[in-house]
Amino acid sequence: MNEEQQCLLLSSASHFWPPKGVKLSYGTAGFRADASLLQSTVYRVGILAALRSLKTRSVIGLMITASHNKVSDNGVKIAYASGGMLSQHWEPFVDALANAPSPQHLLLLINEFVEKEGISVDGDWQVEVLLGRDTRPSGDALLQAAKQA
């Protein structure tokens, strides 16, 4: 990641600090929690979706939904065009992203993962992430967080 990309990431991440005292983990349904706790997580899952698109050279979906939970809850998950879910191999990384305590730590995690996975962030592939949301009252604010990634 070049210096300009790193500065952009640090700047945008400074608006999305993780909630204090909360540790989130990605499961088969993605992240689920009270919607008031999810803005930073949705932002960070947006970053993960972009990296996954670069890695797989494909369109990745980011869905904001918690269809069977109470209305004050919401969630976010990654989906592939095939209907598949996030690779289990990437779940520890998305957990680490969601729980990174600062923008600097987030950047460090991303740089380490990009190098480990051999993801070209300066290549010729244009990131393609499709965003979707349900109609819960929290959906629009969470969608806006995803768009900042």
Active-site annotation, residues: 67
Mean pLDDT of all residues belonging to the chain: 95
- Residue whose structure tokens are 């992203």: 97
Query: At residue 23, what are phi and psi to the nearest 5 degrees?
Result: -120, 120
Amino acid at 74: N
- pLDDT of 122 higher than 90: no
The predicted model gives 106-113 an average pLDDT of 98
Task: Locate the domains of the chain by residue range.
Answer: 3-16+24-147
Q: What is the pTM assigned to this prediction?
A: 0.95
- Domain 3-16+24-147, what fold? Alpha-D-Glucose-1,6-Bisphosphate; Chain A, domain 3 (3.40.120)
Q: How many CB atoms lie within 10 A of CB 36?
A: 12
Contacts of 148 (CB under 8 A, 6+ apart): 12, 15, 16, 43, 46
CA–centroid distance for 101 within its chain: 15
- Partners of 38 in beta bridges: none
Reported confidence tier of residue 28, pLDDT bands at 50, 70, 90: confident
